Amino acid sequence: MALKVGIVGLPNVGKSTIFNALTAAGAESANYPFCTIDPNVGTVPVPDERLQRINAHIKTQKVLPAIVEIVDIAGLVKGASKGEGLGNKFLANIRETNAVLMVVRCFEDDQVVHVDGSVDPIRDIEIIELELVMADLETAQKRLKRAQGQAKTGSKEAKAELAVVERLVAHLEAGKPARSLEFTDDELAMLRDLHLITAKPELFCCNVGDGDLPDGNELSAKVAKHAEEVGAGVVLVCGSLESELSEMEPEERTEFLADYGLKEPSLNALTRACYDLLGLQSYFTAGEKEIRAWTIKKGATAPEAAGVIHTDFEKGFIRAQVFGLDDLEAHGNETAIKAAGKMRVEGRDYVVQDGDIMHFLFNV
């Protein structure tokens, strides 16, 4: 499965700088509120040192990490849902994403003008959240009209849907995000095709100054407190620093990071946080052609994991051969793992564990 994350934020918070650093998409955007005219999409590898550890014992032509797809849209402004700035035209581009990454400015810089005249991350979060709620409200109100018409037929299912949509509209009208409203699985199924932005998991990315790493500052501490209150994730990034890092050679990068007390680029933590936010994990396949990380939901069964490679693998699943990285490092190769009795044979009910190395036997 492909993980897709949409980046949102006010103008001049460093959103596109972070996007460019994440995807190595090019130089920093100009210091202009509406610099991103069309949505940019980039793919970012999920850092995973286990791939190199597997490669140390299984030689291969390619090593392919899991991927996060990042969608960057134009900076939102107050009133975007009513057509201010570039309006809500670009919000549609994040309706299809799995999660929302909200970049929040947590640095002071007189050279970078804040669209609202001062730096206040909680105010910024509230502005963006309200615009996203209003965009969802517009979508929900359209569904409400349709549901009202269908309910007149007397259908039990139509009446049930109307009750759910009415509850959703009232919640959004109160300025609250859809994720804070509880739904049953059946109710969620009724609303799934609305692709509500505020129903998606949310991660706050605090863009701090380079002197604020690795622990953050008072502004990012406020965001962390807010994130805990609303059940969101939070990660610290210095966009300008990451932009520099993205242009460095690996050896130069390690020394540069050490000067800031960092073991790795903050964007690595950001990418993993996006991955964790949705309850995802990786399993691996390894052979002569490639070693590859595959993305699955935690709790996925062996056939479901096989289906990520190809739907035929899930349909015709027979069994899976499974071993762990510890087994590989202890015994050196698959032949020795089998000889030691450490190669497991798992059936349809097996729940795949993070880091499993797997081979699938299937029949089409």
pLDDT tens digit string along 25-79? 333 333 333 334 355 788 888 889 999 999 999 999 999 999 888 888 767 766 6
β-bridge pairing 67-72 and 40-45: antiparallel
Question: 46 or 125: which carries more pLDDT confidence?
Answer: 125
Q: Which residues of 153-179 are buried (b: 16+ CB within 10 A; e: fewer)?
A: eeeeebeebbebbeebbebbeeeebbb
pLDDT of residue 315: 96
User: How distant is the alpha carbon of residue 81 from its chain centre?
Assistant: 23
CATH 3.40.190.10 given to domain 139-196: no
Of 233, 232, 194, 235, nearest to 91 by C-alpha is: 194
Structure tokens at 222: 């406020």
Query: CA–CA separation, 166 vs 362, rounded Å?
Result: 47
User: How distant is the alpha carbon of residue 216 from its chain centre?
Assistant: 22
The answer, yes or no, to whether residue 316 has pLDDT greater than 50, is yes
Percentage above 90 pLDDT, the chain = 63
Strand order across the beta sheet in which 202-207 lies = 40-45, 67-72, 3-8, 99-105, 202-207, 233-237
> Binning pLDDT at 50, 70 and 90, where does residue 87 land?
very low
Mean pLDDT of 290-310: 97
The domain spans of the chain are 3-119+198-277, 139-196, 300-362
Check the CA dihedral 125-131-135-140 and report its sign: positive
Of 254, 232, 233, 235, nearest to 245 by C-alpha is: 254
Question: 136 or 83: which carries more pLDDT confidence?
Answer: 136
Query: CA–CA separation, 250 vs 256, rounded Å?
Result: 10
* SS3 of residue 362 by DSSP: strand
Q: Give the chain's mean pLDDT.
A: 88
Contacts of 350 (CB under 8 A, 6+ apart): 301, 302, 320, 322
Of 135, 185, 190, 195, nearest to 164 by C-alpha is: 190
Q: Are 163 and 187 in contact (CB under 8 A)?
A: no
Distances (CA, A) of 98 to 95, 178, 237, 287, 289: 8, 14, 21, 31, 31
Q: Which CATH superfamily is domain 3-119+198-277 in?
A: P-loop containing nucleotide triphosphate hydrolases (3.40.50.300)
Task: Write the DSSP symbol of residue 345.
Answer: E
Mean pLDDT of 127-133: 92
Of 265, 273, 274, 207, nearest to 236 by C-alpha is: 207
DSSP 107-170: ---TTS--TTSS--HHHHHHHHHHHHHHHHHHHHHHHHHHHHHHHTTT-HHHHHHHHHHHHHHH
pTM of the predicted protein model:
0.85
Q: What is the CA radius of gyration of the chain?
A: 23
Percentage above 70 pLDDT, the chain = 90
Strand order across the beta sheet in which 357-362 lies = 62-64, 290-297, 280-286, 357-362, 317-323, 344-346
Contacts 24+ apart (CB under 8 A), 109-113: 109/209, 111/31, 112/12, 112/31, 113/12, 113/31
The answer, yes or no, to whether residue 259 has pLDDT greater than 90, is no
pLDDT of residue 41: 82
Q: Are 270 and 47 in contact (CB under 8 A)?
A: no
Question: 42 or 291: which carries more pLDDT confidence?
Answer: 291
CATH 3.10.20.30 given to domain 300-362: yes
Mean pLDDT of 144-165: 94
